[in-house]
Amino acid sequence: MKVLAIETATEACSAAYADDDQIIERFQIDPKGHSERILPMVESVLSEAGVVRAELEAIVFDSGPGSFTGIRIGAGVAQGIALGLDLPLVAVSSLMGLAQGVSRVVDGCTAVLPAIDARMGQVYWACLVRDPQEVTGWRWQQMPQVTDPEAVDGPGVEEIGVGSGWDRYAEILSRNGRTIWHQDRYPSARDLIEVAQRLLCAGSATPSTAELTYVRNKVTG
């Protein structure tokens, strides 16, 4: 299946294309440049793949949590392409994207505690554990929420910490001594695709699942 993914929910901005033979991604850290960069990234990955928009079969985007502005930019671009081509639209959580990304580089990864800096002294976080019975391959041990970093609680086993929340509050978040912290990792379009492909193959991607996940009601950028 020919799938395009867009990720703009955090400081990073990325676009990725995947089919049965290849995954191509453009990725850049640019907190203020998402609106200018994302469409050129989309065209760049499609050009390298030798694919035009009309050949796409599904569109994926990061539903959050993260930057309110970033989430809206990515969702707007993804929705525009999907509606224009009458394609399925799949939303994947930024927190699940982080879990998927770190699992690609850490052998035996079974539990992940992703945390994204939510500003105002708080973090967006969740706890995910590997579960082959789940369509996505992940089970929410703790659902996405926003709290002070002191309130973050893992599954009670050795988990992997990842995300900008860890980069900022590592000393607080790692206080239980169980967590292995992987620095400087952001959700990426490639990781969203890997989750979305499972949903698409299982027929579990529906309009009701393509919703934004702000978690917090107050706008923080």
Give the per-residue pLDDT at 87: 95
Superfamily of domain 3-93+186-209: ATPase, nucleotide binding domain (3.30.420.40)
Give the per-residue pLDDT at 213: 77
Residue 140, SS3?
strand
Q: How many CB atoms lie within 10 A of CB 50?
A: 8
What stretches of the chain adopt beta strand conformation (E)? Answer: 3-7, 12-18, 23-29, 58-62, 89-92, 111-119, 122-130, 138-147, 160-162, 180-182
Beta bridge partners of 113: 161
Confidence of residue 177 (pLDDT cuts 50, 70, 90): low
Separation of alpha carbons 217 and 132, rounded Å: 33
Kind and range of the H or E element at 166? Answer: helix 164-173
The structure's pTM equals: 0.92
Residues 6+ apart with CB under 8 A from 184: 167
Would you say residue 8 has pLDDT above 80?
Answer: yes
Give the per-residue pLDDT at 178: 62
Domain boundaries along the sequence of the chain: 3-93+186-209, 94-182
Would you say residue 180 has pLDDT above 90?
Answer: no
- Residue found by looking up tokens 């400087």 in the block: 184
CATH assignment of 94-182? 3.30.420.40
Confidence of residue 174 (pLDDT cuts 50, 70, 90): confident
Higher pLDDT, 24 or 208: 24
Mean pLDDT lowest among 105-109, 140-144, 146-150 = 105-109
Segment 68-97 shows an average pLDDT of: 96
Residue 195, SS3?
helix
- Reading the block at residue 168, the tokens are 């900022």
Segment 136-144 shows an average pLDDT of: 96
Q: Any alpha helices (H) in 5-142, and if so which ranges?
A: 34-49, 68-85, 94-105
Would you say residue 32 has pLDDT above 80?
Answer: yes
Backbone φ and ψ for 42, nearest 5 degrees, come out as -60, -50
39-73 pLDDT, tens digit per residue, is 999 999 999 999 999 999 999 999 999 999 999 99
Q: Would you say the CATH fold of 94-182 matches that of 3-93+186-209?
A: yes
Give the per-residue pLDDT at 153: 83
